[in-house]
Amino acid sequence: MQTVESLSKGYRTARPANCSRAVGCTPPTQAVLTKAVDGGGLDEVKARLVREFGGQVTEDEIKRVVDEEAAKFAEAEIDKFVPVLVERRARKRLRHL
């Protein structure tokens, strides 16, 4: 398969030559992000926040806030710190409820 290298936000990524974001092709890094965001990383975040805010906010509300914050990173090409960023943003929102 022929690939094209692109430089986005200072990181090199390879994508199929016939793939463009305008066409809606999902770059390989997106599949990795989806796995990280849908996987255990966010489950651990939810569990920590439930322990921290369980007496003040319902568990369903905590999970909703975490899911909303995670959705903001759905297009991120680098996913390594997504759970940390989601936890910080969700914690900030939950403190102000």
Does domain 26-95 bear CATH number 1.10.8? yes
Handedness of CA 50, 52, 57, 61 (dihedral sign): negative
Mean pLDDT along residues 62-91: 94
pLDDT at 59 over 50: yes
Which residues 6+ apart lie within 8 Å of 21 measured at CB?
27
Instruction: Supply the pLDDT for residue 79.
Output: 87
Q: What is the pLDDT of residue 6?
A: 45
Count of C-beta atoms within a 10 Å radius of residue 83: 21
Residue 51 has pLDDT above 70, yes or no: yes
Mean pLDDT of the chain: 76
Q: What is the pTM of this model?
A: 0.61
